[in-house]
Amino acid sequence: MKREYHIFVLASALLLCAVPVAFAQEPNFDKLANVPFNENYPTKETTQTLRDELLFQRATQVYLWALPILNTMGMKEGSEKVFGAGYNVLPTWKQRLDAKTIVTTPNSDVIYAMSYLDVGKDGPLVVEVPGLIQGMFDDFYQRPLQGVAPGGTPWSGDVGFFGPDKGKGGKFLLLPPGYSGPIPSDTFVYRSATNNIFLFWRAFYKDASDLGPPDKLIAETKVYPLGKEDSAKPMEFPDASAKPANMIWPQDASAFEVLKRFIDSEPVNAVPDADWRGMLAALGIVKGKPFNPNPHTREILDKAAKTAWKMSKVIAYEDTQTWAGAHVFPDRQWLDPNLDMALDLTWMRTADNYRDLDARIAFFTCYYSISPGMISRVPGLGARYMVAFKDADGDPLLGGKHYRLNLPKGIPAERFWSLTLYDAEQASGLANGQPFPSLGSRDNPVANADGSVDIYLAPAAPKGQEKNWMRTVPGKGYFTIIRLYGPTEAAFSGWPWFDKNWKPGDIEKAK
């Protein structure tokens, strides 16, 4: 685990990739390269300029490196502020998740439950998982927890359909880093590389007018410290639906305060690489020591965070368009949000032995949660995704324009399909005034004579197309995700999705 996630400093490489876009209108490379030295020594002005620049560069790279942590900490702190904290608190979006919950790329078409556990504070935790859940356990780098099921089969993060319980439920034991104590024989064991653990459940419904069954299913979950079931706090399942909650991480200097809180809650080797601990220390972030940047330093940290945030969007929205394997179809704008990442989920390009940092940045500025089940190739199980940031002409999707998307007959989804709109600023559900920023098969859109479905994306519905219309908001750019839950198997060697026999249209500007 430690070797897999060993991360060495590639600050200059990342900077060369991202800075030219961010500073295209005001290049400062010549200024930095030509700051004056006096008899081979830096002047006072040069010293201050380069010190500030070094702090800015280090802070920018730390922010980009820490995106998986910041993403999870943003969810944790935003959730706990509204719904409460503790191993016994499992917020559940009992009436589906709408745009009032600000979090990256949520799905309004399943029932979500998300919790944040701390095995450093509470010790090993037992999680009793109900059957028929699709879920996962990730550490706070959003890496799947590692475990071995009875019989010696290795497992990685998944719970439920793709987990060792095979959708039947059971007891899962979550162990803190370095745990060497007793382990009950009747549990599935997962070990975490961080004290903090993300619990994420999804439950399915058949009828949006009857959400009781999935809500009841999630409420069967129990979490308690190992050996303390009888004295554990009673479970709470606060209804998170329709309650404003900002679960996005900061894009200013306060992001480094969030990062400091994470560092203080973890063992030192939760950041396994001494170079990255050095990068954090250069910003004043050291476990157990005060973090009190002076006003000048804080101003630089603020600018670095804002710049890094924008760099991450350049990588996600623009650079991904040029990556080999990113396009699902060579003649379409649809991208694979998994970004051709390595199947071991570490973003390691194993053939060349390096970590694809840009792929990781692009993922965690737009999405969250990783497990093998998320990228399953098993027909009928899991889900497949396509994301579009551009229209058919390669232009960004803009809220004031009118578009049409054609989905051909035979959409290959055994459970259901949906199209969801996301605000391009936060990557959260687009607040468009409709109950949910999604439309799919369970909404019964009107089909064309040939069996295909047209969906209209516009500020106002085309006449007679209200049932197939999704409202967009002038002045707010957005992107879209198609989800296919339970990709169907037309034949084992010819899946409509994986063999690309079914191909959605591009999002076209309305004529």
Q: Is the dihedral of CA 71, 75, 78, 80 positive or negative?
A: negative
Asked if 73 and 61 sit in the same domain, the reply is no
Q: Is the dihedral of CA 407, 391, 471, 112 positive or negative?
A: positive
Distance, in Å, from the CA atom of 342 to the CA atom of 352, rounded to the nearest integer, reads 12
Asked if 201 and 297 sit in the same domain, the reply is no
Distance, in Å, from the CA atom of 250 to the CA atom of 81, rounded to the nearest integer, reads 15
Asked if 282 and 175 sit in the same domain, the reply is no
Q: How far apart are the first and last CA of the chain?
A: 53
Distance, in Å, from the CA atom of 404 to the CA atom of 424, rounded to the nearest integer, reads 19
Strand 348-349 to 158-160 pairing: unpaired
Closest CA to 118 of 156, 33, 175: 175
Q: Output the pTM of the full model.
A: 0.92
List the chain residues with pLDDT less than 50.
1-24, 342-343, 490-494
pLDDT value at residue 382? 74
Asked if 223 and 115 sit in the same domain, the reply is yes
Within-domain flag for 183? yes
pLDDT value at residue 340? 52
Alpha helices in 38-166 (DSSP H): 44-65, 67-83, 119-122
Asked if 74 and 140 sit in the same domain, the reply is yes
Asked if 168 and 238 sit in the same domain, the reply is yes
Asked if 186 and 118 sit in the same domain, the reply is yes
The pair of three-digit structure tokens given for residue 314, joined into one six-digit string: 């350049």
How many distinct structural domains can be found in the chain? 2
Asked if 240 and 269 sit in the same domain, the reply is no
What is the CATH classification number for the domain harbouring 140? 2.60.40.1610
Asked if 73 and 205 sit in the same domain, the reply is yes
The residue out of 306, 329, 345 marking a domain boundary is: 306
Answer whether 443's CB lies under 8 Å from 420's CB: no
pLDDT value at residue 374? 77
The residue out of 246, 263, 284 marking a domain boundary is: 246
pLDDT value at residue 383? 80
| Residues of the domain holding 23 | 11-65+250-306
Asked if 22 and 99 sit in the same domain, the reply is no
Strand 188-191 to 146-148 pairing: antiparallel
Distance, in Å, from the CA atom of 495 to the CA atom of 49, rounded to the nearest integer, reads 58
Which residue is listed with tokens 């069967």?
220
pLDDT digits (tens, 9 = 90+) for 78-125: 999 999 999 999 999 999 999 999 999 999 999 999 999 999 999 999
User: Per residue, what are the HEC states of 471-502?
Assistant: ECCCCCCEEEEEEEEEECCCCCCCCCCCCCCC
pLDDT digits (tens, 9 = 90+) for 184-201: 989 999 999 999 999 999
The residue out of 216, 246, 276 marking a domain boundary is: 246
Closest CA to 434 of 115, 174, 99: 99
Asked if 73 and 199 sit in the same domain, the reply is yes
Residue-by-residue DSSP string for 5-35? T-----HHHHHHHHHHHHTTTS--HHHHHT-
Strand 453-458 to 469-471 pairing: parallel
What is the CATH classification number for the domain harbouring 28? 1.10.3360
Within-domain flag for 448? no
Answer whether 314's CB lies under 8 Å from 22's CB: yes
Answer whether 488's CB lies under 8 Å from 495's CB: yes
pLDDT value at residue 26? 60
Asked if 145 and 82 sit in the same domain, the reply is yes
Supply angle C-alpha 381, 386, 392, rounded to 5: 155
